[in-house]
Structure 1
């Protein structure tokens, strides 16, 4: 039956909702039949449940919702081999902690919190980022120490390499420029006093107390290694991930 047929036949079993049709010569009361809609398919509202089991035990910070794109801005350290070597060293050192240790995916240095961007804002937002980041010059990035962090929900603890003082100052300047764009789009800005770092390993829950005793030993090792090799990374690009889309911004030479 067509949609127009449903419109012409739609009615109610209630006497109060009967449709009355008047003509000049007589008044007739016609009761319309209720159409049979049992064969019409109903599309249910999308309901995606979080399943930490398929994400290594990780939980979403916010629920999935159609039209919302999880986004963040970050730096990729160019020498991944150097970072992976440190992952193996750290994994050996933290083996004394009675908890499963996992390697971090997509190793990076965050320049923003994870924020939600609506689809129709992706193009103007990325264009605004281009305007702000286009004048930033390339720079050298170095690390200073091992540091332990917990996420805001205290569901995960991270073992990380913190950048050194001069790199932190440079990244703070970039983050302030990004905050201007975030504020323009009424999105959450980064932390007031950010500590820029690359997270390498993580544990479930808050393990700061368990890791406190071995931090000094870890830092003695990293200081000797960094001093010996004078390790720095040349940063000439910044990145933005919006859902499954990746945007890259080249810095000035």
Structure 2
């Protein structure tokens, strides 16, 4: 006897009677982050940094760094006294010039800028790299590379030869510098030792025809005389224009009040007067190029990463 085919069972449930468009569930608002967990975006104020502005935008977790040989010039030494005289002449000819190492602030709440004029040792920097930018995980590796270079380099004698005017790559600042004569060969060897590490980190080498120097004063340049790109014959060092950057609005401009404050407190010049460098070389060139005054020992290499400074003494042995 043939069985009848089974019929589908019909289920009756509340799901069958559900509306075609069920009501939307109300979304719950996420709790706001605690203020301690919010990383503030750096707000830059040129008035706090002598009118300087950031050349490279801030990137979270990225650290500006550069390598240099420190030269500490103590009061009562011949070089210290000479630099004092040079700066006096420079300030007379370029009132807008700023002495490197002196702290200057400007505020509309005070009649005059505050100048730290205490006589203390000047630490001059003889740059061996352009400013470079490291990620957090690259800092230790970079320090170790510099430490190895220091262990292989012997201390050496160097000396200054003349005064010169140099500009940064962006041509936003002009620098009064003391150029190095003796010691140039050893300094180029240090550049060669640094080059593989810089290339590995995808950073630019120092200049192909370096003019080793230390800067002792600077002045802001007019924006209509500045430009981007590599520096020209006079240009040499690329300088970070203020580690705290500039006070920018949402469209990347600075406020009108800040522009007025900069113009009032930190005037700009198109360039140093054409007679400044010849005057300095004529009056002080013989002294600065003498071994007694302009000679110095290079025995340490340093690196500044963010706000931290690390240094190592040269440990190499002289080879006869």
- What is the TM-score with the length of structure 1 in the denominator? 0.80
State the Cα RMSD in Å: 2.7
Q: Give 4+ residue runs of structure 1 displaced > 6 Å after superposition.
A: 42-45
Post-superposition offset of 1:241: 0.6
Task: Give the aligned partner of residue 101 of structure 1.
Answer: 97
Runs of at least 5 residues in structure 1 that lack an aligned partner in the other structure? 1-22
Task: Give the aligned partner of residue 211 of structure 1.
Answer: 273
Distance 1:45-1:126 versus aligned 2 partners, 3 A rule: closer
Once the two structures are superposed, the pairs formed by residues 191-206 of structure 1 within 5 Å of their partners are 191-205=207-221
CA contact (8 A) 1:157 1:208 kept: no
Distance 1:122-1:237 versus aligned 2 partners, 3 A rule: same
1:127 is aligned to 2:127? no
| Residues 54-81 of structure 1, C-alpha deviations (whole Å, 9 max, x = no match) | 0111111112222011100001113343
Task: Give the aligned partner of residue 4 of structure 1.
Answer: none
* Residue among 21, 26, 39 paired with 1:34: 26
1:170 is aligned to 2:186? yes
* Residue among 122, 145, 157 paired with 2:174: 157
CA contact (8 A) 2:180 2:213 kept: yes
| Residues 165-221 of structure 1, C-alpha deviations (whole Å, 9 max, x = no match) | x31222111112112211111112111111010100111106575432132221123
Secondary structure of the 2:152 match is coil
Q: Going by fraction, where is helix more abundant, 1 or 2?
A: 1
Distance 1:208-1:41 versus aligned 2 partners, 3 A rule: closer
Paired residues in the alignment total 230
CA contact (8 A) 1:109 1:197 kept: yes
CA contact (8 A) 2:65 2:131 kept: yes
Secondary structure of the 2:124 match is coil
Secondary structure of the 2:71 match is coil
CA contact (8 A) 2:72 2:124 kept: no
Distance 1:58 1:67 in 2: 22
Distance 1:181 1:39 in 2: 46
CA contact (8 A) 1:157 1:205 kept: yes
Distance 1:136-1:84 versus aligned 2 partners, 3 A rule: same
Q: Which deviates more from structure 2 when the two are superposed, residues 97-106 or residues 179-188?
A: 97-106
* Residue among 65, 88, 92 paired with 2:88: 92
- What is the TM-score with the length of structure 2 in the denominator? 0.64
